[in-house]
Amino acid sequence: MTTKEWARAALSHPTFTGISHAHLGGLIEELAAPWTARRQSALQERRGGKRRQQPGAGPKRDLVFTDRVLVTMVHLRHQLPHAALAELYGLERSTITRAIAEIRPLLAERGFAVPDRPGVRLRTLTDVFAYAAAENVTLRIDGTETQVRRPKAHRPGRCAFVSGNRKQNTMKTTTVSDSQGRTLWSGADPPGRMHDQTAMRTEGIAEQLRLHSQVKAEVDEGYRGLANEFPDQVSAPPKEPKEGAPLGEQYACREMRRRQSSARICVEHANAEHKQWRPLQRFLGRREHYPATHRAIAALVSDRAAQRATRRKPSTELVPVSMTAC
């Protein structure tokens, strides 16, 4: 067995890719057409016209398409260095870097799987709110942060990545899920210094709430301004009572906050699923590659989450029992 065949057989295991063999096979089949189209477009632009040779002529590529998808998946799952992957395949590091640069954008553009709707994918917030309005889904919205490289000294905007919450250089990402923690959308990747609510407003969430007045959402303290603007749609934890308030008021507020947190906690579980992938625990690559990396991982996680069966809440209506039946 040659080096490339051995590497392909070893790295295709779910332990390295983070997905099943069936999922990997479907992913390769899904990405083949867009990758070929982009490659042919780039070749035509480079030579300035139509090809002059027969299909199949010219130099052969060091990595076939399947291996390109494979090394990208392993890099996304474990953040394995390009040099290590190149050593496994017996190639130059630059070959692995180019392969990942080709496949990662395709993974990021796939969109997010819809529960109980095979083949349908959500790519924008407009799609998410339209889906929530049609299916009567209450959205859960939350932000998360990932540590990134610190910008070099004396660069403009160096302090923009310093998070006031974590006291580290981070980038923020907003996640939208349903009531079972299944990711419906993930995006809005600003520097860590930007407030969660500001990041969502720049993506147009306020406009979407105005356009879809029937859509409701559960949020945390960071989106209180949004809840104040849309009190009938957005639910945030109530403010804690002032010092010296009656015990009854304190207990009532505590119970309301507990219930609201219980309804919103599923989006935290969705973020936890993303964090199982190594690059989203601490991103070691270039900061400009983080948005595509996060969206690619979130889309892959949504594929698995969408396969979870929808749990139906049992009715709590009391049914009277006739005396004769007793």
pLDDT for 325 = 46
Predicted model pTM = 0.87
Per-residue pLDDT of the chain (326 residues; tens, 9 = 90+): 578 888 889 999 999 999 999 999 999 999 999 999 988 888 788 777 777 776 666 666 778 999 999 999 999 999 999 999 999 999 999 999 999 999 999 999 999 999 888 888 999 999 999 999 999 999 999 988 999 998 888 777 778 888 888 888 999 899 999 999 999 999 878 888 888 778 777 778 888 999 999 999 999 888 888 888 898 999 999 888 888 888 888 888 889 889 988 889 999 999 999 999 999 999 999 999 999 999 999 999 999 999 887 776 654 444 454 444 43
pLDDT for 308 = 85
pLDDT for 58 = 61
pLDDT for 281 = 93
278 vs 73, 113, 245, CA distance in Å? Answer: 12, 22, 46
pLDDT for 57 = 63
Query: pLDDT tens digit string along 225-281?
Result: 888 889 899 999 988 888 888 888 888 888 988 998 888 999 999 999 999 999 999
